Chain A
Amino acid sequence: MEVKVTRELKEEIKVLILESLNIPDVGPEDIADDASLFEDENLGLDSIDGLEIVMALQEKYGVRIDDQNQARFILKSIDTIAEFIAKELSKK
């Protein structure tokens, strides 16, 4: 079944990231879909945060991101995460 990238999916991912990293002072509306999550002017995440997001995505959607090379590209922004999740869920 094909899963599409929707606004709801992106919203869900934003909430998941903020909850799993325990960032209470930022709301989903503060994160632009195409903003780089690792840049200081945005969320300014580090590689450990990245790994936490990887585990949170795995626990919620049952998708595994195996290695850092792959993670570098998938975790770039909400857009790239949503595309990855939709693609992986479509395979199931």
Chain B
Amino acid sequence: MNKMNDLVIPFEHRMFAHCESGTVTGLLNHGGLPLTEPMVFGISSGILFLYFKTPALPFPTFVVRNFPGQMIRGVSRRLGVKFSTAKYRDQKKGEDAIDALLDKGIPVACRTDFYYMDYLPAYMRAHFNFHYLTIVGRKGSKFLVSDCYSTELAELERESLRKGRYPGGSFDPRGFLFYPVRVPQNPDIDAAIRKGIKAACFNMLRLPVKQVGVKGIRLFSKKIMEWPGMARNEDHLSHEIMKINILLEDQGTGGAGYRFMYATFLRQASEKLNAPALREMSERMMLVGDDWRRISIYAARMGKNHDFGETKFRELSEKIARQADAEEKFFTDLARIAKTL
């Protein structure tokens, strides 16, 4: 039985589009730095595309943002925020660390398996070891959790958080937690925006790896033609094809594979830097996002209806290839503008 005193840190709970950018934004706001979520996403060059296959996963897949943890590192490097991070092999020590921080009035973010966050409806939850949330208090045997997908501050049994922090399997969080120990009150946000944009352009256009950025989108458009031959059967193919929709729309992407969030970042950056050209780029990125959303619907319908004729795959492949062209042109133009900012 827990004998800890109840406490609630005055942390403003808000919903965000994505758990990592939202959690970092909430912590920075709490520390006195009023950045928006799209700003955090853009400054940390969150936008990306990566098509890959790994022994840990049974089928090729793709991601549409930078790797988990890079948003935390991105804002640290570009804004001078200092985070303290830790992992605990011992579950009790991992939980004691949270209580000790709460006693000091410090909200603490954790990486968890999303499945155990049982304050959210069951249909939303799946095993996913990269879900971020912030613990802001405790009440009886429960922790008070600010989770950007929850409409209000949630209560979570200690046991559920323990399972979520130590779920085992690939990419086990192993009790990972982090919290800011220094939040600069007047960082050079303009410089951080410029660096974030330049890095995003570099990642999308110039990383010399065929799986990443625009090259990764082209690889995806080519490789998807091989998917029917790789799937075990029609149901498996349907599952994998429908995952395109999930990865683009259902994983806290802010819509259209983070493209809408990046467009919002560019609009806000345009206002901050007084750069009308970025406003135009924001509108263009929204249109790129609309086309990703159309691909998402197209793939979902294919999967749902088991509509797997070669023509359908060919058309899907061509749609993705057009996205590669559109993003190549977009980031080439953005890189040119970035030099003038």
Binding site for B on A (CB under 8 A): 47-48, 51-52, 54-55, 58, 64-69
Cα A51 to Cα B250 in complex, Å, equals 10
Give A54 to B301 CA distance when docked, in angstroms.
Answer: 15
Cα of A68 to Cα of B261 in the assembled complex, Å:
12
Q: Are A67's CB and B17's CB within 8 A?
A: yes
* Residue among A51, A52, A58, A67 making CB contact with B254, cutoff 8 Å: A67
Assess whether B290 is interfacial by the CB under 8 Å rule. yes
Complex formed: what's the CA distance from A41 to B151 in Å? 25
Q: How near does chain B come to A91, taking the closest CB pair, in angstroms? A: 15
Instruction: With both chains docked as a complex, state the minimum distance between the C-beta of B299 and any C-beta of chain A, in angstroms.
Output: 10
CB–CB B254/A47 < 8 A: no
Mark contacts of B284-309 with chain A using CB atoms, 8 A cut-off: 1 yes-contact digit, 0 otherwise: 00100010011011001100100000
- Rounded to whole angstroms, the CA-CA distance of A52 and B255 in the bound complex is 13
Binary interface profile of B, 246-287, with partner A (CB < 8 Å = 1, else 0)? 000110111100001100100000000000000000000010
Q: How far is the CB of B37 from chain A (nearest CB, A)?
A: 10
Across the interface, which residues of A come within 8 angstroms of B294, CB to CB?
Answer: 55
Q: Contacts of A58 on B, CB cut-off 8 Å?
A: 290
Q: Is B245 an interface residue (CB 8 A)?
A: yes
Interface of A is mostly: helix
User: A51 and B260: CB pair below 8 A?
Assistant: no
Tell whether, in the assembled complex, residue A64 and residue B249 are in contact, meaning their CB atoms are under 8 Å apart.
no
Let me know if B153 is at the binding interface, CB within 8 A. no
Bound-state Cα–Cα, A55 to B301, Å:
14
User: Is B15 located at the chain interface by the 8 A CB criterion?
Assistant: yes
| Residue from the list A52, A64, A65 in contact with B297, Cβ < 8 A | A52
Task: Provide 12 A-B residue pairs closer than 8 Å at the C-beta atoms, listed in order of the A residue.
Answer: A48-B297, A48-B301, A48-B304, A51-B296, A52-B297, A58-B290, A66-B17, A66-B264, A67-B17, A68-B250, A69-B16, A69-B149
Closest B residue to A54 by CB, please name it.
B293
Query: How many A-B contacts at CB < 8 Å in the complex?
Result: 48
Given known A-B contacts A51-B249, A58-B290, A65 and B255 have beta carbons under 8 A apart? yes
Residue among A51, A58, A65 with the highest chain B CB neighbour number at 10 A: A51
Complex Cα distance A54/B250, Å?
A: 14
Chain A residue with Cβ nearest B303? A48
Give the 10 A-B residue pairs with the shortest CB-CB distance, closest first.
A48-B300, A66-B255, A67-B255, A66-B260, A67-B17, A67-B254, A51-B297, A69-B15, A52-B297, A66-B254
Tell me the minimal C-beta distance from B154 to chain A in angstroms: 15
Contacts of A69 in B (CB 8 A): 15-17, 148-149, 252
Q: Do A68 and B255 touch across chains, with their CB atoms under 8 A apart? A: yes
Rounded to whole Å, the gap between the CB of B332 and the closest CB of chain A is 25
Q: A33–B15 Cα gap in the complex (Å)?
A: 27
Assess the A67–B290 pair: CB atoms within 8 A. Answer: no
Residues of chain A within 8 A (CB-CB) of B261 are 66-67
In contact, B253 and A67 (Cβ under 8 angstroms): yes
B285 to chain A, nearest CB (A): 12
A sample of 15 more A-B contacts (CB under 8 A), given A48-B300, A55-B293, A68-B252, is: A47-B245, A47-B249, A48-B301, A48-B304, A55-B294, A64-B260, A65-B255, A66-B17, A66-B261, A66-B264, A67-B252, A67-B261, A68-B250, A69-B17, A69-B148
**Please, how many angstroms separate the alpha-carbon atoms of A52 and B253 in the complex?**
17
Q: Which residues of B contact A67 (CB under 8 A)?
A: 17, 252-255, 260-261
CB neighbours (8 Å) of B250 from chain A are 47, 68
Contacts of B254 in A (CB 8 A): 66-67
Interchain CA distance A39-B152 in the complex, whole Å: 23
The listed residue (B17, B149, B245, B252) touching A51 by CB distance below 8 A is: B245
Name the A residues within 8 Å of B301 (CB-CB): 48
Question: Which residues of A sit under 8 angstroms from B245, Cβ to Cβ?
Answer: 47-48, 51
A55 vs B292: C-alpha distance when bound (angstroms): 12
Q: State how many angstroms separate the Cβ of B113 from the closest Cβ of chain A.
A: 20
